[in-house]
Amino acid sequence: MPALRYRAVADDLERQIASGALRPGERMSGENELAREFSVSRVTVRTALALLEKKDLIVRRAGAGTFVAMPRLHHDLTILESMFSKFTKMGIASSAELLEYEWAVVDAQTARKLGYPEAMRLSRVWSIGQTPFAITYSYLHPVTRPVSYADAERNAGYLILESLGHHVDRANLNIRAERADRKIAQALHIEVHAPVLVLERTSYSSSNEALEHTDCFMRSDAIDFVLSVRGSTPVSAAFQQQLARRA
């Protein structure tokens, strides 16, 4: 195989990724289609894709295809900010699809954290390009019961709460790693038992009233969590101090 041919294919695809013609999370054409497009063999295409994969520009998944790699988000846990808003700041378009909108009985474990037996339940799938990035399951304070479907579809949970005069002052966070069950795997377009990161958050008002609880299941190939501390302050103490200050 001419050495320059597969590099030319790789360079062209890399330019398309850099220019945005191929967007983060987008499924790329198959090997046969790319071979026809560039008038090369499948072996040449496969070698070009291997080069792009080595550069972390694409991700190849057995049985699913080849996708443009999503940018890796570094989220500082000491800042009470939606991680999804960071994609906007990075110039990356993300979207959310509301899957569930219902007044529901809260499961026993979550009810102990929230202090009320019923709540507004919302679930959403968040995507970058054509690829799902995370799925969230939230219970919102009973004050949100009159909220319309249109408002729930348009606004994030904390914005809904703020519109009703309930402001989040602090949050308790827990992060764990899990294996995706069938439901999560299907929602995130990953294999069953693939690793996912789970961010569990319970948010409170300044008067210590629980306002919402969210379980967020995220693809592990697109998120890093960061915790910054200063000097010799113990990590746990620094974390609590910064959360209290809403750093």
| Cβ-contact 87, 72 below 8 angstroms | no
| Cβ-contact 219, 135 below 8 angstroms | no
Q: What is the CATH architecture of 3-68?
A: Orthogonal Bundle (1.10)
| Cβ-contact 194, 185 below 8 angstroms | yes
| Cβ-contact 62, 23 below 8 angstroms | no
pLDDT at residue 90 in the model: 61
Which CATH superfamily groups domain 73-245?
Chorismate lyase-like (3.40.1410.10)
Q: Which of 138-147, 151-160, 161-170, 213-222 has the lowest mean pLDDT?
A: 213-222
Q: What is the residue extent of each domain of the chain?
A: 3-68, 73-245
Residues 6+ apart with CB under 8 A from 151: 160, 163
The residue among 106, 237, 77, 74 whose CA lies nearest residue 171 is 77
pLDDT at 168 over 80: yes
Question: How does the average pLDDT of the chain come out, rounded?
Answer: 82
Q: Which of 59-68, 93-102, 110-119, 143-152 has the lowest mean pLDDT?
A: 59-68
Round to whole Å and give the CA distance between 218 and 133: 6
| Residues making up the chain, counted from first to last | 247
pTM higher than 0.85, yes or no? no
Higher pLDDT, 169 or 223: 169
Same fold for the pair 3-68 and 73-245: no
Average pLDDT of 129-153? 91
Alpha carbon distances (Å) from 70 to 125, 151, 182: 16, 29, 22
Round to whole Å and give the CA distance between 136 and 117: 20
